[in-house]
Structure 1
Amino acid sequence: MRRTPFRVPRAAAGFALLAVLALLATGCDSGDDWAGPRAAPTPLGALGAGFAGPSPTPTPEATITPQPGSWKNVHPPRGYRVVLLTAGDDRPTKTLVRAVREWADAEDVALRTVRAEGEPDLLPAIDRAMDLGPDLVLAVGNTLVDPLATVTPHHLDRHFLVVGAELAEPTENVTAVDWGGASFRGEGLGMSSTYDASSFTPARSAAAVRAGVAAVLHGLTGIVVWVDKY
C-alpha cells in the first residue's frame, strides 16, 4: 500500500492546534487568574527585626515606626491580586498611583485599577474593587477615607491598605501607611495642619507601598505604619 507522504505532518499540526486551543480555553496566564479561589497569600521573605518594634504583635489601632529598610526582604507571592482603588488628580495621588504601578511591575503582581469618577462614585467604586475578588484593595486618594470608613467594617473578610492617609478608627482589616506630611483622617476634620504635598516624593511613596504590603502579608493589620524614616 502506498503511503501518503504528508499524513504524519498534518496529524502533528492538528494535535498542535488542539493543544493551543486547549491552552487558550483554560487561560494561558496563570499569574493573572482572578476567577478561581485561592489560599491565603504567603509572603516571600521575612520582616526585619526593627519592623514592629519591641512588640511582635502590635495592638489594634497602634502606630508602629519600622526601621528604614526593615521591609525590603518581603515580597508578595507571584500573581498576588491587588486592586488599586484611586480617586483624585492631585499631584500626591498621582505620585502614589505611579509608585503602586511600579511596585506591581517589579514584583509580578496581578494589578487591576478601579478609579472613582467624582464624589457620587466613591462608594460604588469601593464595591467594584471588592467585586473583583482581590487579595488586597490598595487605596490612594484622600476623598476615599470617609467612604472606606463606612464600608470596611462590613467586610472584615477583605484586606484594605490605605497609603498616604488613614482611617480614624480602623477595623482589623484596614491598614494604613502614613507620615508627618500626610495623615489625613477625614470625618469632616479637614486637612491636617502638618499636611505637606511635597512630602509625597517618589522615594517615600515607593517605601510606603512596600512597607504597607509587607505588614499586611505578615498579618500586622488594623494598624498605622509610620514611615517618616525610609
Structure 2
Amino acid sequence: MSRLLPAALALLVLAGCSSGDWDEARPAPVPIGALGAGFVDPSHPPAPEATITPSPGSWDQVHPPEGYRVVLLTIGADAPTTTVVTAVEEWAEAEKVSLRTVTADPAEPVDAIVEAMNMKPDVVVSAGDGLIDPLALVTPNHLDQQFLVVGAELAEPTANVTAVEWAGAGFRGEGLGSSTTYDAATFTAERCARAVRAGAAAVLHRVRGIVLWVD
C-alpha cells in the first residue's frame, strides 16, 4: 500500500488536468424506469455501508439514458475479472452506453484511477481485486465521482462507492480477504450480468454507498 502514496499525493493536481473524452458538461443522468418492489424499502432507505439483498429482477426495468458515460476500470486477466469485463461490455452495448476502458498497470493502479476520473464519466465501474486497495485510498477524496465495484467491495465505502457481490465473491482488500469463502467459479456470465445491471440500477436511482448482495 505504501508504494501507492506518491501517486496519491499528486492525485488532487492530476485529477483536474485533463478534459477527458467527453467534453460537454451536462446535468446528472436520469434513469429510465423505476426500481421494482423488493429492491429497497423507500420508507427505510439503507444506512451508509449497509448490505441489502434486492429481490431478483427488481432492477430489470431500470435502464440508463442513451449515452450514459461509463469508464470500465480493469486490472488483471484472471477468469473472474474477464467475466466481469465482458458483462460490462455486453450491458453497455445493449443499453447504448458510451463506454471507455482504462486498463491499470499493476505497478501504478492509482494512475489508472486518475485517468478514469479525468474522463468525467457518470460512473466508473471497477473490475479486478487489484483495484480495491487503490480505490480505498482514492475514493474518499473524490466524492463527486461515482464508482461501482463488481464482485468485490471496499471495507469502508464512502457514499460514492457502491458494490455488488455474492457468495464466493467479496474481496475487501489486502489483509482483509473476502467477506465470504472466495470461489472463482461463482463468477459466471449470468451472475456477473445480473450484478452489473443491479449495480447500475442502484447508482442511477441514488441507492449508493452500500453493498448489494445478488444470487
Aligned twin of 1:146? 133
Match for residue 41 of structure 1 among 29, 35, 39: 29
1:69 corresponds to which residue?
57
Indicate the SS of the match to 2:29.
coil
Larger radius of gyration: 1
User: Aligned ranges for residues 125-164 of structure 1 at < 5 Å?
Assistant: 125-164=112-151
Paired with 1:132 and 1:34, the residues of 2 have a C-alpha distance of: 6
1:107 aligns with 2:90: no
Match of 2:175 in 1: 188
1:38 & 1:157 partners in 2: Cα distance? 14
Q: Does 1:89 align with 2:77?
A: yes
TM-score by length of 1: 0.82
The SS at the match of 1:145 is: helix
Structure 1 stretch displaced more, 164-173 or 189-198:
189-198
Q: Deviations over 1:15-59 (max 9, x none)?
A: xxxxxxxxxxxxxxxxxx811101000000000011014755211
- Are 2:167 and 2:180, in contact at CA under 8 Å, matched by a contact in 1? no
Question: Matched residues, percent identical?
Answer: 66
Give the conservation status (yes or no) of the 8 Å contact 1:53–1:66.
no
Worse-matched range after superposition: 51-60 or 71-80? 51-60
* 8 Å Cα contact 1:44/1:74 also seen in 2: yes
Q: What RMSD over aligned residues (CA atoms) do the two structures have, in Å?
A: 1.3
The answer for unaligned runs of 5 or more in structure 1 is: 1-32
Please give the alpha-carbon distance, in whole angstroms, between the structure 1 residues aligned to 2:52 and 2:177: 24
Amino acid at match of 1:226: W
1:165, CA displacement in angstroms?
0.1
Letter in 1 for 2:212: V
Structure 1 CA distance, aligned partners of 2:178 and 2:60? 31
The 4+ residue runs of structure 1 with deviation greater than 3 A are 53-56, 190-193
Higher RCO (CA 8 Å, separation ≥ 6 residues): 2
CA distance in 2, matches of 1:168, 1:74: 27
Determine the C-alpha separation between the residues in 1 that align with 2:121 and 2:79.
26
Equivalent-residue separation in structure 2 for 1:193 and 1:163 (angstroms): 15
- Give 3-state SS (helix, strand or coil) of 2:112's partner: helix
Residue of 35, 57, 60 corresponding to 2:45: 57
Q: Distance in 1 between matches of 2:179 and 2:206?
A: 29
Count of aligned pairs: 195
Amino acid at match of 1:137: V
Query: Which residue, 68, 74, 86 being the options, matches 1:80?
Result: 68
Gaps in structure 2 of 5+ consecutive residues? 1-20
Letter in 1 for 2:82: K
